[in-house]
Every structure is written in C-alpha cells, then in structure tokens.
Amino acid sequence: MRVTALLLAAAALAAAAAFIACSEKAGGGPDAAGVKATYSTSTGKLELITYDTNKDGKVDAWGHMEGTRLVSMDIDRNFDGVIDRWEYFSADGALEKVGFSRANDGKVDAWAFQGADGQMSRIEVSTRRDGTVNRLEFYEGGKLVRTEEDANGDGKPEKWEAWHDGALASVELDTNRDGQPDRRLTYGPSGVKTTKLR
C-alpha cells in the first residue's frame, strides 16, 4: 500500500544529519563527497547546499538553508532527475512534514505528518495541485480512517469520507452548503445506500 512508502523514513533523517555535517566543511566548490554550498550574495549567509548522494555527477538533494538552519530539503531518491520527496524542518531541527507528488511529476501536492506514535497520522492534499490544501486524510495505525474535503474551493469542507480496512465505508455530503452534512452514502456488499440526514 502507498502508505508504507510514505512513512517518514529514518534513513532520510540520517541523510539529513550527514548532510549538515558535510556542510560544515563545504567550501565554494564541490568537495570529495559531492557537496556544494551556495551563499547569499547580499547577506553572505548560507542559502543552499546541494549533494550528489550516489556520486553519479548529478545533484540529487537540495538543502535550503537559513544560515546554519536547514529549512527544507528536496530529494531525488531514485536518481531519475525528478524530485520525489520534500522534507520540511521546524526551528528546532525536527522533521515537521514530508511532501510527495501523487502524480510523480516533480510537483509536490501532498504532505504527510507523523503522530506521537511515530506513525503517519495525517496527509494534507492539494487536489488541484496549486499548493492550497483542500483535502485532509487522517490515518490510524497506518490506515486511512477518514477524510475532509473542500472540493469546490470555498474554504469549507463539504465532503467527508469514512474508511474501514482500506475500503470506503461511507461518504457524507453537504449539498446545501450550510456547513453541515445532509446526505450520507453508505457503501456495502449490496451497493450504495443513500440517507437524508436533515
């Protein structure tokens, strides 16, 4: 299941740590480990560190820096030249969220968050792929349990899905746009049942 692939990888964190360690000794040009640092021409602060992880001569990780702080990192994990993972770090250096591209085209459109139990708890999705989050997916024990979606882009959800064991169990809809669900579609072995809620 795709969830497995989205789990926040410890390996990537280790890579980030190595990345920062390498940056300490990075000068102007690429060093032996393929690390190259770029400094702001106006402030002189470290802005970007690029890294050639597999040493094939092509950059596959871009660390966006604010001086010594790693803000985010873009990573091409399979070395095909297309970025497929985006990591965002909080001010204390913790991995805040991991972005990915559902269309696998190098454009980030979903962001995964980890819960206190270390498992993925939430994915924020921009279904229109414009950077605006309009669908929330909530996970428990690695499984999708419910969603909230603002499909018409008015800033309020009007579609709520309930999932059970990897299958869509029911959908509630706000058809009259008063912010409350008024229709429920229940999916079962005998088909879809529609219930009027109010």
**Binding site residues, Ca ion, CB under 5 A:** 52, 54, 56, 58, 60, 76, 78, 80, 82, 84, 150, 152, 154, 156, 158
* Of 152 and 194, CB closest to Ca ion: 152
Distance separating alpha carbons of residues 13 and 93, to the nearest angstrom: 10
Write down the residue that tokens 């190098």 correspond to: 106
Minimum Å distance from CB 13 to Ca ion? 19
* Of 124 and 150, CB closest to Ca ion: 150
Minimum Å distance from CB 52 to Ca ion? 4
Phi first, then psi: give them for residue 135, nearest 5 degrees: -140, 130
* Of 48 and 82, CB closest to Ca ion: 82
Minimum Å distance from CB 122 to Ca ion? 19
* Of 105 and 154, CB closest to Ca ion: 154
C-alpha separations of 41 from 38, 44, 45, 46, 63 in Å: 9, 6, 8, 10, 17
Write down the residue that tokens 């669908």 correspond to: 135
* Of 10 and 82, CB closest to Ca ion: 82
Q: Which long-range contacts (CB under 8 A, 24 or more apart) does 76-82 make?
A: 79/53, 79/54, 82/106
The Cβ-side half-sphere exposure at 189, using a 13 Å CA radius, reads: 0
Minimum Å distance from CB 5 to Ca ion? 13
| 109 closest CA partner among 88, 90, 85, 89 | 85
Minimum Å distance from CB 83 to Ca ion? 6
